[in-house]
């Protein structure tokens, strides 16, 4: 595609825990796949810096509420619940795997997960930090003694932790690397699946072009990581801007170009239901909540 008129417009929210959207932008992969992207870093940073907006009014929800042709990502539980609530659709053709970690300050008396009994742990409700904290803490604590507090986005959680406003927080990339650089203590870490959450009227051809661009970005990152690690600077929340060694931040989310199948989806919905987090879900049939890219 060489004619600007021939390009298809698409709104893209870069995901704070990976570099792929930026690599595709820098290398012109979107245009080469016939797309003209509107990159929305302000949405990404609003997600990192929000302090607890209600469901449906969170920064990540607004493009869907406004019915923009937008592509975003969320933890697998969040995407399942969002789609089930009638807000966007799940793309089943692929998924990513990111990491999380629960931190405390270096001088904290807390050194093990069991020490978090009844201690408020900062999370963003109905987001990856919430679900992964439940999954991790339930392995060490009785359900009634898990105390999660809605601190907001990952950037806000780390700022609150650094300021001593909370005792512990569950963080994602790139905040994990920043917390490590600031000398915070890690109690636990793990990995979780993230899925693509898109406008319900996105067509398979547009989605396929979008994911081809991201696949090319994934290949480029794998082949020449040092060329792109500096792009992490764009994902650091404004409140955490600083002079970081981005070579220590890692490659971010791992793309898995395999189906996110119905069994995975039902497991995610089941976990949300188990913890009473499916209040907004009206539809839980996988077949009704997906839009395929045909990869």
Domains of the chain in sequence order:
4-95+194-289 (3.40.190.10), 99-192 (3.40.190.10)
Residue, of 229 and 152, whose pLDDT is higher: 229
Beta bridge partners of 37: 10
Report pLDDT for 64: 86
Burial class (CB in 10 A: 0-12, 13-18, 19+), 292: middle
38: which strand partners? 11
Contact between 41 and 234 under an 8 Å Cβ cutoff? The reply is yes
pLDDT of residue 281: 92
231-266 per-position pLDDT tens digit: 999 999 999 999 999 999 999 999 999 999 999 999
pLDDT beyond 70 at 4: no
CB 16 within 8 A of CB 153: no
Average model confidence (pLDDT) for the chain? 93
Range among 39-48, 122-131, 142-151, 275-284 with highest mean pLDDT value: 142-151
* pLDDT higher than threshold 50 for residue 42: yes
Give the pLDDT score at 180.
96
Going by pLDDT thresholds of 50, 70 and 90, the confidence category of residue 54 is confident
What is the pLDDT averaged over residues 141-162? 94
Check pLDDT > 50 for residue 84.
Answer: yes
**pLDDT band at 8, cuts 50/70/90?**
very high
pLDDT of residue 65: 83
Query: Rounded mean pLDDT of 120-125?
Result: 93
SS3 label, residue 71: strand
Mean pLDDT of the region 18-43: 96
Q: Are 95 and 194 in contact (CB under 8 A)?
A: yes
Burial, 64: exposed, middle or buried (Cβ in 10 Å; 0-12, 13-18, 19+)?
buried
Can you give the pTM of this predicted structure?
0.92
- 92 pLDDT more than 70: yes
3-state SS assignment for residue 148: strand
Per DSSP, 239 falls in state G
**Strand ranges for the chain from DSSP E:** 8-12, 35-39, 70-75, 89-104, 120-123, 147-150, 168-172, 185-198, 254-256
Phi, psi at 122, each rounded to 5°: -70, 125
Burial string for 195-234 (b: 16+ CB within 10 Å, else e) reads bbbbbeebeeebbbbbbbbbbbbbebbeeeeeebbebbeb
Cα separation, 26 vs 101, whole angstroms: 30
Provide the CB-side half-sphere exposure for 286 (13 A, CA).
18
**Which of 47-51, 69-73, 95-99 is modeled with the greatest confidence?**
95-99
Q: Is the pLDDT of residue 3 over 60?
A: no
Long-range contacts of 277-282 (CB under 8 A, 24+ apart): 277/77, 277/81, 277/126, 277/130, 277/131, 278/81, 278/84, 280/55, 280/56, 280/81, 280/84, 280/85, 281/80, 281/81, 281/84, 281/85, 282/84, 282/85, 282/86
- How large is the average pLDDT for residues 193-204? 95
Is residue 169 pLDDT above 50, yes or no? yes
pLDDT above 50 (res 2)? no
265 neighbors 277 (Cβ within 8 angstroms): no
Nearest to 174 by CA among 155, 150, 161: 155
Burial 124-155 (b: 16+ CB within 10 A, else e): bbbbbbbbbbbebbeebbeeeebebbbbbbbb
- Residue 67, pLDDT > 90, answer no
């Amino acid at each position: 595609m060489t004619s600007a008129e021939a390009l298809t417009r698409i709104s893209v929210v870069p995901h704070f825990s990976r570099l792929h959207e930026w690599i595709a932008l820098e290398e012109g992969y979107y245009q080469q796949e016939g797309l003209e992207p509107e990159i929305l870093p302000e949405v990404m940073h609003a997600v990192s810096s929000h302090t607890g907006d209600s469901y449906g009014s969170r920064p990540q929800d607004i493009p869907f509420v406004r019915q923009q042709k937008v592509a975003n990502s969320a933890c697998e539980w969040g995407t399942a619940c969002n789609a089930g609530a009638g807000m966007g659709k799940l793309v089943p053709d692929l998924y990513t795997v990111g990491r999380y970690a629960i931190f405390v300050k270096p001088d904290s008396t807390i050194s093990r997960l069991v020490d978090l009994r009844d201690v408020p742990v900062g999370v963003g409700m109905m987001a990856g930090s919430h679900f992964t904290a439940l999954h991790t803490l339930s392995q060490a604590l009785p359900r009634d003694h898990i105390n999660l507090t809605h601190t907001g986005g990952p950037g806000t959680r780390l700022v609150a932790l650094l300021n001593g406003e909370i005792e512990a927080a569950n963080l994602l990339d790139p905040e994990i690397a920043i917390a490590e650089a600031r000398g915070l203590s890690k109690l636990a870490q793990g990995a979780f699946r993230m899925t693509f959450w898109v406008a319900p009227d996105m067509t398979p051809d547009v989605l396929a072009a979008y994911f081809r661009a991201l696949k090319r970005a994934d290949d480029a990152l794998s082949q020449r990581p040092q060329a792109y690690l500096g792009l992490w600077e764009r994902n650091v929340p404004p409140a955490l801007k600083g002079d970081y060694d981005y070579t220590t931040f890692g490659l971010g989310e791992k793309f898995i170009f395999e189906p996110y199948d119905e069994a995975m989806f039902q497991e995610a919905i089941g976990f949300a239901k188990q913890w009473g987090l499916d209040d907004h879900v009206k539809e839980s049939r996988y077949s009704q909540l997906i839009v395929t890219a045909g990869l």
